[in-house]
Structure 1
């Protein structure tokens, strides 16, 4: 049994809060000579290489696991928009608020720092109001993350799996996010399927990172579709230009008739224009979002696989800027992972996720289905700042 004295759970600020600090002059996680250090790190990486398993030194880590990023996209999003979805009687209006909620789930990413690569079997379990969120790392090679979230009061369920595939292109890294998400409004018998935008890291001429690509949100029952285009168009030498831009439309797939147009920036406001009467209104305002502060309600109930526990010592070292201790802590986690893998291989055992049934084929790809119908309440609580 695990020694309680050795248990270290480190609550850290939300991605949004950390990103704001990193972008400020007082940011505490920026490595000195950032561009020079990054170029030296990548100097032996071949062009076109998949760098999924590339390990960054702790100095380039933000004190969070990628599992926490994934979880925060749900429990730090504007969950009140999901409640609005349920209250709307018109299927078009429900899709509009699903779109607004999806945009609110977009997490900021800061150039030069990255979250920890989750270990196999790592979990992140958080509750916010009646919304319970569970994330599990169901595969390590390749890295695949599965998410299940339920809200008993609103009768809403979310199921999502993601597989990041970052490719190095010399002066940029393109992070393609394979996967599929499902949002179920059970009161209305509707399922909305959606994909994810991709990340584009530019090293030169000016370091930057942006979400790019096309996202489709489709209601399987009504045939209504929202098409969102995440854009980034920096000007000469990376100065100025449009960043964090979203343009899109909502249309009926049966007739291809466009009903609405969308335009704005995901970190500011998104406006919706009615194609028939020209009326324009704001459907999402990022300034009214959710910072998602965490509190520990019941330490005894925190699983040993919880991200805040697995990476607690490393996060504390990074926040204290004790880089020697950070390297030791990171190596300790990675070595435990390798040891467990060797033990399974020696016994001929195959890893089985605890919370999801997972299958994979070349034809269909990955499929991650939650074992339980509902996610239990978590010992870690998120709340609005």
Structure 2
């Protein structure tokens, strides 16, 4: 576990993030200046291996000729936000979209059920924050999800009584909105990623708002996650780190939990480690939490100095589920479930991510077709935009509305989208129907287009 000063946040949220990102740059790295001809490029080895810089740089999924060409193409974007401005090769993608990835947060949703059933307000935050941490095991995958097409959706109705709907509500800037609900909680998120491309790495800032309402407890929880850094995009073995603080606040009571994600240090020291406290509204520590975001989280009651109470013991609250061995994309069983047509709901929306031809081709291992389909979808999206603008129309999301609220985040302001309830009505009408025409889901043509499914002229 970290020292008390580290657990309690040191210089605060913003200073911790700044120092964490700075320290990461000085972690175990090897310069390849002169060896490969790329001045200033660093290859960071998270395990602190003994290979020399040139050998380490040659590792990874890229062939040498691909690395050279991609590096030359990407140099002009250094320092820029590349969320939606760069056409990337399908080689680096996984067969999942960003809005599907949003649904991965539901894998351990039973922790939110426990939070809602819990009478202790501090244990409520232990369960809820462990739920927020649980998704990081899945987020360590180094493959890039597909950017959703404007109007694209993803729906899930077959996990823990949850109904989940997500929609791509904006293309420039790329923004998604999601809503999930069961008998215990509602989950609402507006997601807008901001990136900074640094050459061989990229910083990802979650400019979003996540709110969870616990129905029985009658409280609203607000989540601010840490930033993420993806290392060795082109040279070396790609790996992910999320140094900084995660803060979950009970907006109803003022209680909060602050968890510090340790940056990866020399020889992998501190990698995956998470330490922190649950505080009451007076900012007094009540429960300490510790663990690793890729393994498990535990908790123990503490005194006002943050020390464990005598007569208590450290108890585990969450542990990562078993995962497939040697999975090509490092998917969990739940990630495969998200992608599966077998678990698609009745009357699947034609705009659903599962139906994307590029995603499906990549899942089947056909990179050539996946690349061609990806280019086709991107061009049709541009054509639809031209058609929409020519008619003087503005895109309107189907399942979410702009709330008019602009909320501050550590990385910029965010326009908040709110769930409009129409999907609940849509799903209820389908579930209530006596006769459902059986349709081969795979035969449905992907169609998120609201203003004409146009090809390039």
| Change beyond 3 A, Cα 1:342–1:232 | same
Does the aligned pair in 2 maintain the 1:260–1:272 contact within 8 Å? Answer: yes
Within a 5 Å distance, the mapping from 1:214-225 to structure 2 comes to 214-225=245-256
Distance 2:64 2:288 in 1: 39
Query: What does the per-residue CA deviation read over 1:225-260, in whole Å, with 9 as the maximum and x for residues that have no partner?
Result: 00122223142xxx433322212111113x221112
Q: 1:353 aligns with which of 386, 397, 407?
A: 397
Distance 2:210 2:98 in 1: 17
Q: CA RMSD in A?
A: 2.6
Q: Which is strand-richer, 1 or 2?
A: 1
Determine helix, strand or coil for the equivalent of 2:285. Answer: strand
Query: What does the per-residue CA deviation read over 1:90-122, in whole Å, with 9 as the maximum and x for residues that have no partner?
Result: 2112111111211223333333x2110111111
Q: 1:126 aligns with which of 156, 159, 164?
A: 156
Q: Does 1:72 align with 2:121?
A: no
Does the aligned pair in 2 maintain the 1:86–1:185 contact within 8 Å? Answer: yes
Query: What does the per-residue CA deviation read over 1:64-90, in whole Å, with 9 as the maximum and x for residues that have no partner?
Result: 11111011222x2x1221221122112
Does the aligned pair in 2 maintain the 1:179–1:196 contact within 8 Å? Answer: no
Residue of structure 1 in register with 2:352 after alignment: 306
Query: What does the per-residue CA deviation read over 1:284-317, in whole Å, with 9 as the maximum and x for residues that have no partner?
Result: 11136983224535676111111111x2x22332
Within a 5 Å distance, the mapping from 1:6-85 to structure 2 comes to 32-33=61-62, 37-38=66-67, 40-43=69-72, 44-53=75-84, 54-74=86-106, 76=107, 78-85=108-115
Q: Does 1:264 align with 2:291?
A: yes
Residue of structure 1 in register with 2:417 after alignment: 368
Q: Does 1:108 align with 2:139?
A: yes
| Alpha-carbon shift at residue 131 of structure 1 (Å) | 0.7
TM-score by length of structure 1 reads 0.81
Residue of structure 1 in register with 2:194 after alignment: 165
| Alpha-carbon shift at residue 162 of structure 1 (Å) | 1.1
Does the aligned pair in 2 maintain the 1:35–1:207 contact within 8 Å? Answer: no
Q: Does 1:93 align with 2:123?
A: yes
Distance 2:298 2:259 in 1: 13
| Change beyond 3 A, Cα 1:81–1:246 | same
Does the aligned pair in 1 maintain the 2:358–2:369 contact within 8 Å? Answer: yes
Does the aligned pair in 2 maintain the 1:123–1:137 contact within 8 Å? Answer: yes
Q: 1:145 aligns with which of 158, 176, 190?
A: 176
